[in-house]
Structure 1
Amino acid sequence: MSPGRWNVRWNALSSLALALLLAACTSAPPAATAPAAPPQVPEQVSSTNWEQDMQQFEAADAQSPPPRGAVLFIGSSSIRFWEALAQDFPGVPVINRGFGGSELRDSTWYADRIIVPYAPRQILLYAGDNDLNAGRSPRQLRDDFRAFVERVRRDLPDVRTAYISTKPSPSRAHLLPAQREANALVQAEAQRLGVDYIDIFTPMLDASGQPNEALFIEDRLHMNRAGYEIWQRVIAPYIR
């Protein structure tokens, strides 16, 4: 073969090899995409810390079943420590299901154990200041309140519900702005949902607009008898 013919064939082979190489590159599978981010863990709605409290309530119910159609008080320690609850509302069958340190979401979470079985005629809920102290925002508290009402109405559509506003505690005076905002948001939502809103925040302030120290025990968080007397006076007109 002459050198000229060889060069022609070599150039043709080179062109063919280059074309095949380019085709291989363009038809190669695309690089693997990055794996999708794992789904976010849903926000914890309650804590198992209250399981012992639930078991104690259930044991008490088994020993002495509470009356159906009663007025149920539920929520955090301000309800739990209301030892004179029955005496403060004479002639009214009441059930106290307060569990100290709880947040509003906890009452929603345990509704099937400490609300629905009692078939109460009325529910009075006190919760919120623990929530704000733990870092939940006023809007989150409003949303938690809405979720509570929706959960109760799912099984007890005709039950009357009232929300007791957060109280102004001297030990948590730094929360007053957040409490005012949360109370206003919950009050507006309560009106929209047809729920009673009970303001105990205002009557527990002193003349300077600060939490009234005279209404609290030494820890400046929980109420003494004078504090509960205000609660009784303010709440009584809402009891049905």
Structure 2
Amino acid sequence: MNGFDSANFSLRFMHMKKHLLLSLVFFGLFIAQVTSQTIPFEEEVKRISARIDSTGWSPGSTVFTGSSTIRMWKSLEETFPNETLINTGFGGSKASDLERHLFPLVIKFEPSRVFIYEGDNDLWAGVEVSAILTSLDNIVTRIHLVNPDIEIFLIGAKPSPSRWEKKDSYLIFNRMLKEYCQTKEQVQYVDTWKALTDTEGNARPELYIQDMLHLNQEGYVIWAGIFKGYFKN
């Protein structure tokens, strides 16, 4: 019977330990990569939240959030100089993305009012209206669980020339969004469609930048007129 070879055992154990450590390292890298790929907008949301923290904020402000139509509203603060505003818009987002990042983009700022623009990208990507409304309802519910007195304004989709082929889908979404808002306390619907169309109900290309999706300065002037009606000052 052979004796126990302690030297050989130690060598084999060291090799096993080395392989195990390498496996754990690669597994950790894999998990990190998968995590970063499966949480859309995580880094952008962190940057937005950090930027606002660095400039300072006060509870009771008005938060504007949603997709790029909000993010690109550069004249927002000068449009409402008597209001304390926070813009947490993040381009390309859908309602489900805002639902996922609701705390760092909205709830943490303890707002008194929240304006939300989501649904535009969702519809264009083929998301069902029912799924969009479910995400928006989850958002409304979570905000009001924190503070039921927060006023929430859900902004209807705008009539973009580049997405005109889905006009009917957008109109259906807007109608259903308005109906949803009518069933909720402290929730209002903001109609931006009519003001951005001509007398025949067509989109107005002169109100958009070259991509025919995002508003230009003239378009935001019209938007400002719409939203001023929702501010007391």
Deviations 1:181-215 (A, max 9, x none): 11111101101012111100111112331111011
Q: Find the partner of 2:85 among 91, 94, 102.
A: 94
Whole-Å separation in 2 of the counterparts to 1:56 and 1:114: 11
Correspondence list, 1:17-96, <5 A: 48-96=39-87
Question: How much has 1:47 moved relative to structure 2?
Answer: 5.6
1:138–1:179: 8 Å Cα contact kept in structure 2?
Answer: no
Deviations 1:156-191 (A, max 9, x none): 222110011100100000111001111111101101
Correspondence list, 1:1-240, <5 A: 48-194=39-185, 195-240=187-232
Question: How much has 1:220 moved relative to structure 2?
Answer: 0.3
SS at 2:40 equivalent: helix
Change (3 A) 1:174 1:47: farther
Q: Which has the larger radius of gyration?
A: 1
- Of all paired residues, the percent bearing the same amino acid is 30
Amino acid at match of 2:131: Q
Root-mean-square deviation (Å): 1.5
Whole-Å separation in 1 of the counterparts to 2:87 and 2:53: 15
Query: Which residues of structure 1 form unaligned runs of 5+?
Result: 1-45
TM-score, with length taken from structure 2: 0.80
Report the number of matched residues: 195
Whole-Å separation in 1 of the counterparts to 2:40 and 2:138: 21
Whole-Å separation in 2 of the counterparts to 1:167 and 1:232: 14
Question: How much has 1:61 moved relative to structure 2?
Answer: 3.0
SS at 1:52 equivalent: helix
Whole-Å separation in 2 of the counterparts to 1:47 and 1:186: 28
2:40–2:97: 8 Å Cα contact kept in structure 1?
Answer: no
Moved more, 216-225 or 140-149: 140-149
Query: Which residues of structure 2 form unaligned runs of 5+?
Result: 1-36
Amino acid at match of 1:151: R
Question: How much has 1:60 moved relative to structure 2?
Answer: 1.1
